[in-house]
């Protein structure tokens, strides 16, 4: 009995891990273990011998079991110590930079949000149309027939269609004006919309890129005049640049408006720096006019009953003016350094009460 005890307690003390301990448990005190075999021998003993051997074997079994439990706890503690020793955290290391992999809002997106907030306040809803459109929506419906010089001047990107279906969309829209027609068709009059979006022309220099952005405006009602147009635009520019901005309307010509006006905003050049809303210089920012009756009719609306104004303005251009960005081409280079410099906080949405400038 003493030999058994010495053998197993020794093995338990030396067990290196949980599984070695389990093997010992099975061979020592398991159902077919050595102690169990000894217990079976009790039957062959005399009652006197049994009275001594029985309790002694039970005591041995208990002792081995508690030695195993104690050793198991010891092994777990040692394992935890080992983990704590190897899995350490250096709390004195500098923290990881916040916002490092965080993107920014592109100036075009930012300015689109800003102008949408301003026009929304004046009751204009946002309308959208496809960037690949038909000749009809992009030109004919806007009073630009195929022989018209404006078609040639637009530097249009045409798409050739392999299937030869010439009623299918085939031009990258050269302006947002086709959205006027689509919205008139879909909604009828009265109407007050702005249509921001990308447009395309084959042109490339410091102030022109083959894809850029415009916002179209259209207001139709029974009694709308140039005066409403002027007020709306002056209101817009003052809200957008957050300073009283004078406007100048110059007579012009567009096929889709009659009369037509180009609009300049007041500006000055001081030390090579452009300042909007001061001085006696003028900067052209948009085209506008009273919607031509043929255009209203093309939109499925009776021009005898409804009239209105429209305008078209370059979003990239007013973004450059407001935020002092010198080169339009950089807008589309996806240079991360440029985006971090000119970009805006992504969750900081512009609105009239929270402020429009950043």
How far apart are CB 201 and ligand DAH at their closest, in Å?
A: 9
| Shortest separation between residue 228's beta carbon and ligand DAH, angstroms | 14
Q: Judged by CB under 6 A, does residue 233 bind ligand DAH?
A: no
Q: Is 196 in the site for ligand DAH (CB under 6 A)?
A: no
Sign of the alpha-carbon torsion through 145, 149, 155, 158: positive
d(CA 24, CA 33): 9
Residue whose CB is less far from ligand DAH, 288 or 307: 288
Is residue 201 at the binding interface for ligand DAH, with CB under 6 A as the rule? no
Nearest CB to ligand DAH, comparing residues 237 and 311:
311
Is there binding between residue 113 and ligand DAH (CB under 6 A)?
A: no
Contacts of 65 (CB under 8 A, 6+ apart): 25, 29
Q: What are phi and psi of 159, to 5 degrees?
A: -110, 130
Shortest spacing between CB 238 and ligand DAH, in angstroms: 21
Establish if 216 lies at the interface with ligand DAH (CB under 6 A).
yes
d(CA 152, CA 201): 11
Q: Does the bond joining 311 to the residue before it have cis omega, within 30 degrees of 0?
A: no
Query: Is residue 312 part of the contact set for ligand DAH (CB under 6 A)?
Result: yes
Between 155 and 194, how does the x/- string for binding to ligand DAH read (CB under 6 A)? --------------------x-x-----------------
Residue nearest to ligand DAH (CB): 312
Sequence length of the chain is 358
- The only residue of 311, 331, 342, 344 in contact with ligand DAH, by rule CB under 6 A: 311
Return residues touching ligand DAH (CB under 6 A): 175, 177, 216, 254, 256-257, 287-289, 310-312
């Amino acid at each position: 009995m003493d030999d058994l005890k010495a053998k197993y307690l020794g093995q338990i003390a030396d067990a290196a891990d949980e599984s070695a301990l389990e093997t010992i448990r099975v061979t020592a005190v398991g159902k077919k273990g050595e102690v169990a075999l000894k217990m079976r021998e009790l039957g062959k003993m005399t009652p006197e011998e049994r009275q001594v051997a029985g309790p002694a074997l039970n005591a041995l079994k208990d002792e081995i079991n508690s030695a195993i439990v104690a050793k198991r706890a010891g092994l777990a503690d040692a394992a935890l110590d080992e983990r704590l020793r190897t899995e350490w955290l250096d709390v004195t290391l500098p923290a990881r930079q916040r916002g490092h992999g965080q993107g920014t809002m592109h100036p075009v997106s930012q300015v689109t949000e800003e102008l949408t907030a301003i026009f929304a306040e004046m009751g204009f809803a946002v309308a959208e149309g496809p960037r690949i459109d038909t000749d009809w929506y992009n030109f004919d419906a806007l009073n630009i027939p195929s022989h018209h010089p404006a078609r040639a001047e637009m530097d249009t990107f045409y798409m050739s269609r392999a299937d030869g279906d010439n009623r299918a969309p085939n031009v990258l829209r050269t302006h947002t004006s086709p959205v006027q027609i689509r919205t008139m068709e879909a909604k009828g009059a009265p109407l007050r919309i702005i249509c921001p979006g990308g447009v395309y022309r084959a042109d490339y220099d410091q102030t022109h890129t083959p894809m850029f952005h415009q916002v179209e405006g259209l207001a139709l009602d029974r009694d709308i005049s140039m005066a409403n147009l002027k007020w709306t635009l002056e209101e817009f520019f003052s809200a957008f640049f957050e300073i009283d901005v004078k406007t100048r309307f110059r007579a012009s010509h567009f096929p889709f408006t009659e009369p037509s006006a180009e609009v300049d905003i007041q500006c000055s050049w001081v030390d090579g720096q452009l300042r909007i809303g001061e001085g006696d210089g003028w900067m052209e920012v948009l085209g506008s006019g009273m919607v031509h009756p043929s255009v209203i009719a093309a939109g499925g609306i009776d021009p005898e009953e409804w009239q209105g104004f429209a305008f078209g303005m370059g979003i990239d251009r007013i973004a450059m003016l407001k935020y002092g960005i010198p080169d339009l081409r950089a807008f589309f280079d996806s240079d991360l350094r440029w985006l971090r410099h000119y970009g805006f906080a992504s969750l900081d949405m512009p609105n009239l009460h929270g402020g429009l400038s950043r």
